[in-house]
Chain A
């Protein structure tokens, strides 16, 4: 534009402005002609579709704990899914609340207060007016992937199904914090849920200002009640205990509050008895989802080995697959898109010779961190393998044993 003479420029702007007015007028008249809604509204499955009755086994499952009324842990059927997006109704959940609330968005408010110049309260409509982002991120419970948890040891769903991946849409928390003017002494925020038990979590201000999202939509539709309707905090790449559901308050403070679910319930015990807390980021992990525990490989010949890889670090750089129990590895194909803090689908063509073998996948992330075997993890932690049977934040390699009859079992369980 700098090379245009000023009169040229004026003409250009004027005609552009006229056209703009015309375009807007056109939009108005199109609106005006919108036909009145048809007297018939689709009902039931026509209004909101459901899977085929023949796909009725693709459901969340839980561990056999008939007496528990809390720790509602429902795991994603990773073995039945393709691609990287988890359908919202199959997203895992693990709650610490007495019943799932269904909060009226018309009365829901998000309050930001504490060490800010301008404390503010937002309605849902106001939150939706801010510039939005849509980002694909995984969530993973820090208790995912315990290799030998009671009766769950035989399926990828029950061992590794506390992770799911969605497209989350919302406003960056940094935008809301800027609106309030965070004071220079602030270093943490405390996020609180609006359910009866008022779950709280401390999040470092640096993460809150970095990539944390205050999300209102999941996979294109309003977040479902089980996942935090109408608002959920998403701290990408971090243990999902940070992803506060039913979010209604952000308290800006200058210290972590050591809340129950970060410092009491979800603190881990190191091998030497020390407490481990505030572990935030999840390690690189790849899991073969097909074939996996409980399945049967129908016979020798070609099979595609496929699975998911992810890392709290940044991106999945590569996934290697071994079909000889880790003696040798070959690089798998990564399916695009490969996104930051998202599940990444990998594939590996495999010709099974019909002999017993152990298949496993290994993730390397963008920072060069390599997923260890359970034995390597034990050496690094200076402990024994059984320490990890119940440990949290475990990202060891999952080996599956394929027997001569094609049946697939957890190769760690036999150890």
Chain B
């Protein structure tokens, strides 16, 4: 084929499929979620309490919830069963090099229980039940008292034992940043 024909075909392809300049505009796909859809997303809690729903509970209330909805798997006092790990200490129990939990925030515990427990019927706890059973789990770990009320204001204030003992102190990342701990020196 002669080069002029090739060039014509090339032009034809370009004209038939005009390329979209990706960086210059948006595409207009998708639709805005309705206010109900945004309100209906599953709650998640930030360490400062952002996102926590209304509701309240104490470890005393939570003991009953625990006995009914959690003990079958996690044992009567959070000590675990043959099938499931216990809840003391909270979090990474392998390797157990610490007396206390590695969990940094009480909101982390609430958020996980609220979204993922009970394991086979997650998302079914009422707000009061979730606060109460979180309080009970924290009470088993000697982090709150039996009568302490947990709600959207008090939960973020509960201090976990390892709160200020993390590396890095402030999580973050910028492009090109090298991983921190575990960087090994270059070999000559």
CB B13 to nearest CB in A, in angstroms, measures 8
Most interface-central of A118, A192, A200, A263 (chain B CB within 10 A) = A263
- Listed by A's residue number, 11 A-B pairs whose Cβ atoms lie within 8 Å are A16-B8, A16-B14, A17-B12, A111-B37, A123-B30, A198-B122, A269-B98, A274-B166, A275-B104, A277-B104, A280-B179
* Contact residues of A between 46 and 86, Cβ < 8 Å to B: 67-70
CB A2 to nearest CB in B, in angstroms, measures 16
What's the Cα separation between A394 and B14 when bound, in Å?
50
Flag whether B147 is at the interface (Cβ < 8 A): no
Flag whether A190 is at the interface (Cβ < 8 A): yes
CB A269 to nearest CB in B, in angstroms, measures 5
Flag whether B11 is at the interface (Cβ < 8 A): yes
Binds A, one of B55-63, B111-119, B128-136, B138-146: B111-119
How many A residues touch the partner, as a band?
35 or more
Question: In this complex, what residue of A is CB-closest to B187?
Answer: A370
Residue of A118, A281, A370 near B184 (CB, 8 A) is A370
Further contacts, 6 of them, CB under 8 A, given A113-B38, A202-B171, A278-B172: A17-B15, A120-B33, A264-B92, A264-B103, A313-B178, A369-B184
**B112 near A16: Cβ-Cβ < 8 Å:** no
* Contact residues of B between 47 and 91, Cβ < 8 Å to A: 47-48, 50, 82-84, 90-91
**B95 near A179: Cβ-Cβ < 8 Å:** no
Residue of A13, A69, A120, A269 near B102 (CB, 8 A) is A269
Binds B, one of A29-37, A248-256, A333-341: A248-256
The tally of CB-CB contacts under 8 A between chains A and B is: 228
Given A190-B44, A198-B116, verify A275-B102 contact (CB < 8 Å): yes
Q: Give the chain B neighbours of A123 by CB distance below 8 A.
A: 30
Q: Give the chain A neighbours of B173 by CB distance below 8 A.
A: 204, 206-207, 278, 280
Q: Give the chain B neighbours of A281 by CB distance below 8 A.
A: 178-179
Given A267-B91, A283-B182, A370-B184, verify A275-B162 contact (CB < 8 Å): yes
* Contact residues of A between 281 and 324, Cβ < 8 Å to B: 281-283, 312-313
Q: Give the chain A neighbours of B165 by CB distance below 8 A.
A: 273-275
**B15 near A369: Cβ-Cβ < 8 Å:** no
**A192 near B92: Cβ-Cβ < 8 Å:** no
Q: Give the chain B neighbours of A266 by CB distance below 8 A.
A: 92
Residue of B12, B20, B115 near A16 (CB, 8 A) is B12
Flag whether B41 is at the interface (Cβ < 8 A): yes
What's the Cα separation between A198 and B116 when bound, in Å?
7
What's the Cα separation between A123 and B22 when bound, in Å?
20
CB A74 to nearest CB in B, in angstroms, measures 19
Q: Give the chain A neighbours of B15 by CB distance below 8 A.
A: 13, 16-17, 20
Question: In this complex, what residue of A is CB-closest to B51?
Answer: A257
**B30 near A256: Cβ-Cβ < 8 Å:** no
Binds B, one of A125-133, A222-230, A349-357: A125-133
**A259 near B11: Cβ-Cβ < 8 Å:** no
Q: Give the chain A neighbours of B47 by CB distance below 8 A.
A: 255, 257-258
Question: In this complex, what residue of A is CB-closest to B73?
Answer: A69
CB B174 to nearest CB in A, in angstroms, measures 5
What's the Cα separation between A253 and B91 when bound, in Å?
25
Given A260-B112, A267-B91, verify A371-B184 contact (CB < 8 Å): yes
Flag whether A404 is at the interface (Cβ < 8 A): no
Q: Give the chain B neighbours of A277 by CB distance below 8 A.
A: 104, 166-168, 171
Flag whether B120 is at the interface (Cβ < 8 A): yes
Q: Give the chain A neighbours of B41 by CB distance below 8 A.
A: 111, 113, 249, 251
Residue of B30, B84, B105, B115 near A258 (CB, 8 A) is B105
Question: In this complex, what residue of B is CB-closest to A196?
Answer: B122
Given A267-B102, A275-B165, verify A98-B11 contact (CB < 8 Å): no
Given A126-B29, A131-B20, verify A276-B42 contact (CB < 8 Å): no
Question: In this complex, what residue of B is CB-closest to A96?
Answer: B116
Flag whether A175 is at the interface (Cβ < 8 A): yes
Residue-wise interface mask of A (1-41) relative to B, using a CB-CB cutoff of 8 A (1 in contact, 0 not): 00000000000110111011011100000000000000000
What's the Cα separation between A178 and B185 when bound, in Å?
38
What's the Cα separation between A255 and B120 when bound, in Å?
30
Q: Give the chain B neighbours of A113 by CB distance below 8 A.
A: 33, 38, 41
What's the Cα separation between A312 and B31 when bound, in Å?
36
Flag whether B1 is at the interface (Cβ < 8 A): no
